[in-house]
Structure 1
Amino acid sequence: MDFTVEYEPTPGEVVRGLERALKHQLKALIWLFPAFLVVFGVVFLLLGNIGIGVGLLVAAIVVPFVIPWSLRRTARKQVPYLCVPTTLHVTDDGYESRSEKLTTDVRWSLFSRVVVTPEFWLFFVNKQATGFLPRNAFTPEQQAQLDARLAPLTNPPA
C-alpha cells in the first residue's frame, strides 16, 4: 500500500471526528459520572440534606447534555488548524499528513486501537484519542486497503 491523496476536511467533519474520538475516550466517564451523582444525590436526600441531594440529582440530569456540548466546543477550537488543504501519504508503515499549518508522520505501530466508523478511522494510544482519518478522503479501493491494514488494531488483544 502506497498512495497519496489531497483533501480538505470540512469544519463539520473535524468536529464530528474529534467529538466521536473523545466520546470513545470518555465513554466510562460519560456513563459513570451521572450515576455517581444520582447515588450521592439519593444518599444526601436520605441523610436529610435536601439541598445538596436535589442539586446532585439535577446535575445528574444536566451533565449528559453538557458533556457533548463541551466536546463539540473543544473540537471547534481545532477547526482553523485542521480545515486546510492537506496531503495524506499512506503506506504499509503509517501515514503522513502535510498542510500549511501542520505536518505529522505516524507509524501504525504507535496505535494500540483503531475504532472504525462509517465516516472515520479513530486512533487511540492506550485509551487516549490521538487522531482520526476521514474515510471520504479515500477511494473505495484505498478504504478497503486501509481497513485490511488496520484490521489487527480494530480488535486488539486484551
Structure 2
Amino acid sequence: MARALGQGARQQLKIHYLVSSSILIASGLVCILVDAPYMGTVLLVAAVVSPLLVTWSLRRTGRRQLTYLCVPTILRMTDDGYEARTDQSTTTMRWSLFGRIVAGPEFWLFFVNKQFTGFLPRRAFSTEQQAEFDGFLAAREHTRAA
C-alpha cells in the first residue's frame, strides 16, 4: 500500500517538481548574475533539496495514514464503478469520476483532476481478472477519446 501511495504521489507531483525546480534554478542563476551569490547559492541548493524534502514529508504522512488504510477490504467491481467495503467504511467510486487511470505493474492508480485519489492492487485479482480489467479500461479510454 505504501508503494501505491508513493507511485501515485510521484505521478501527481512530476510537473510540480519540474516547474518548482526550474523556477528555483532560474532564480538562483539570476541572483548570481546580478551579484547576489549567497542568495543564488541558496536557491540552487533549494532546487535540489526541495523535491527530496517533499518526498520525505509525503512518505512520513503516508506511513501515518497506512494504519487506517491497511485493513481487510472487500472489492466489488461493476461496469459503473467499484465498491470497497471494510468493517469501518464503504466507498463507492464511479469510473466516470476518474480523469485518468494509470495501469502499472503492481497497481492501477486513479486520478481525479490530476490528483491521485486511489488505487487497486493487482495482486488482489487473478491473472484472468487483471487482463479483463485492463481490457475494460482500454475500451473505456477508447470510448472517452471518441
Question: Above 0.5 in TM-score?
Answer: yes
- Within-5 A mapping of 1:23-34: 23-34=10-21
TM-score normalised according to structure 1 size: 0.84
1:56 and 1:15 mapped to 2: Cα distance? 31
1:156 and 1:133 mapped to 2: Cα distance? 21
Q: Displacement, 1:101?
A: 2.6
Give the match for residue 5 of structure 1.
Answer: none
Select the structure that is richer in helix.
2
TM-score normalised according to structure 2 size: 0.90
Choose from 113, 127, 138 the match for 1:140.
Answer: 127
Give the match for residue 89 of structure 2.
Answer: 102
Q: Displacement, 1:24?
A: 1.1
Give the match for residue 41 of structure 2.
Answer: 54
* Stretches of structure 1 lacking an aligned partner (at least 5 in a row): 1-13
Q: Could you say which structure has the greater relative contact order, defined with CA pairs below 8 angstroms and 6 or more residues apart?
A: 1
Change (3 A) 1:41 1:154: farther
Select the structure that is richer in strand.
1
How high is the sequence identity, in percent, across the aligned residues?
Answer: 51
For the aligned residues, what is the CA RMSD?
Answer: 1.7
1:53 and 1:94 mapped to 2: Cα distance? 50
Equivalent pairs, count: 144
1:49 and 1:78 mapped to 2: Cα distance? 43
Change (3 A) 1:156 1:57: farther
Q: Displacement, 1:38?
A: 0.8
